[in-house]
Amino acid sequence: MSKTSVARTVGRLLLGSFLVFAGVSHLTFAREEFQAQVPPWLPVDPDVTVLASGVVEVGLGGALLVARKHRRAVGIVTALFFVAVFPGNIAQWLEHRDAFGLNTDTARFVRLFFQPMLIALALWSTWSPRVRRNASP
């Protein structure tokens, strides 16, 4: 196993664990904090949004931890999920809503740069080069 392959596996397992933890926190102890990230223009009750996204996060995290055959597809869906929730992060910054210790506009703004990193990690950690079988030397 190459160093890159090990790094991808570690990244995938860390991201999967993070998502499971975040999803469980959506469903339990951090529900109110996550509601601060739900844009007010979203036509769904903030608590329903938080609960639904928590279930999705637990599912995606679990899939990242165990998927083998469809690992690339799980990475793509995870990246798309991070894209889908990004407007909530932007809304939190633009509307000056405190949550998770992000109590300044600067802290909320800096946080926006981590979302593209999560998207990249979801894609990179689930990508593996295809080994061509029966290829001539």
Across the chain, which has 137 residues, the per-10-residue mean pLDDT values are 92 98 97 90 95 98 96 98 95 92 95 97 90 50
pLDDT of residue 1: 77
Distance CA 57, CA 36 (A): 17
> CB of 90 within 8 A of CB of 34?
no
Helices (runs of H) and strands (runs of E) counted in the chain: 6, 0
> CB of 88 within 8 A of CB of 61?
no
pLDDT of residue 79: 98
pLDDT of residue 76: 98
Residue located via tokens 């999705």? 56
pLDDT of residue 130: 64
pLDDT of residue 131: 47
41: which residues sit within 8 A by CB, 6+ positions away? 91
The structural domains of the chain, with segments of one domain joined by +, span: 3-124
